[in-house]
Structure formats: structure tokens, C-alpha cells
Amino acid sequence: MDIERMVGVLGALVISAAQAIYILNCVRRKITPSVLSWFGWSCLMGTSLVSQIVHKGWQWSMTGIASSAVGCLTIAAVAWFSGNFAFKRGDLAFLLAGLACVGIYVCSDDSWVTTIFAIVADALLGVPTIVKAWRLPDLERSVAWVLGVVSAALSLSICVGHSFIYVLFPAYLLLFNGSMAGLTWGRRR
């Protein structure tokens, strides 16, 4: 249990560092966050955290999710109040679809259904950010995505021995952050 706690806290520290770097990049106008994606992710992470604690109890692999909920909201707020954010009307459709998935997530008592819908909602909320990274990689290039991969890998490492359901979301986050890192760092400028 002590190893899980240490790895969980380390994962939370890594994702917090990633989000702090992302915020600094936003303030310095090196990147332009999709404000709806970050706000939606904050709602999703907060909902996910509360639901998992209520249904399954606290697991140290959730420490990164708790840090993410706070960090995503902070990123959305900093982007909004600094006036440095990306917003397209089409992004609203992804936010609404993501929030609909959050609604299903909240209303369901089946942990498999809620986990799958959490992943779908997160992916839908991420579409504007992925599209922007594809089209304008410089506006999303940040070491924060690489640190997100590290944090997800740490969360995955402490899922060993627990129900497979705990593996799904960290595995998805590893894929998402890895894709963002590849899109923004792997492509030629």
C-alpha cells in the first residue's frame, strides 16, 4: 500500500507540474488552449473522481485525477481571463456531447458503463485540442503532454492487482497524451 501511495502522489505531482508548465506556456502565449476542452475536462475529472470514490472508495491511482480536475479548471480560467484561448462555435457541439456522456456517467450505477462513458466524454472534449494540434502544432507544443504520458504510466503501474476497470482510464490517458505529444513534437515545424 505504501508503494501505491508513493506512486500515486508522484503521478499527481508529475501531472501538476505538467499543468503548471502548460499554464506558464499559456500566460507567455506560447500555446493557445481550447478553453472548452479544458473546462469540460475539469467537469469530467471532478465527476469521475466523486463517482469513483462514492462507488468504489479511494484508490491511490485516483490522485492524478484529483490533481487533473483542479489543474484543468485552472488552465481554463487562466486561458479565459488572459484572453489567450481558442474557441470555435463547433467546439460547443463537442462540449455538449461530452457533457451528455458525463450525465450518463453520473446517472449510471454500472462502473463499466460509467468508465466507458467517461473515456468517450474525455475523447469528445479533446477533439478541438487534437484538431488544433494537427493543424497548428505550435499552438499546443508543450512538454506538459510528455509529462502527462509519464503520469498516466505511473497510474497504470499501480493498477496491477486491482480490477481491470481501473486500468482503462489511465490507459486512455496514456494514449491521448502520447498522441498529443506526437502531434505537437513529432511533426516538423
Q: What is the pLDDT of residues 63-77, one digit of tens each?
A: 888 898 899 999 999
Where the chain has pLDDT below 70, the residues are: 1, 98, 101-102, 105, 187-189
Unique residue bearing C-alpha cell 497548428:
136
pLDDT at 84: 94
pTM of this prediction? 0.81
For residue 117, the model assigns a pLDDT of: 80
CA distances from 44 to 2, 26, 158 (A): 28, 22, 22
Number of DSSP helices (H) and strands (E) in the chain, helices first: 7, 0
State residue 187's pLDDT score: 60
- The residue extents of the domains of the chain are 2-185
pLDDT score of 27: 95
- Is the torsion defined by CA of 53, 144, 78, 84 positive or negative? negative
What is the predicted pLDDT for the residue at 171?
92
Rounded to an integer, what distance in angstroms lies between the CA atom of residue 47 and that of residue 43? 6
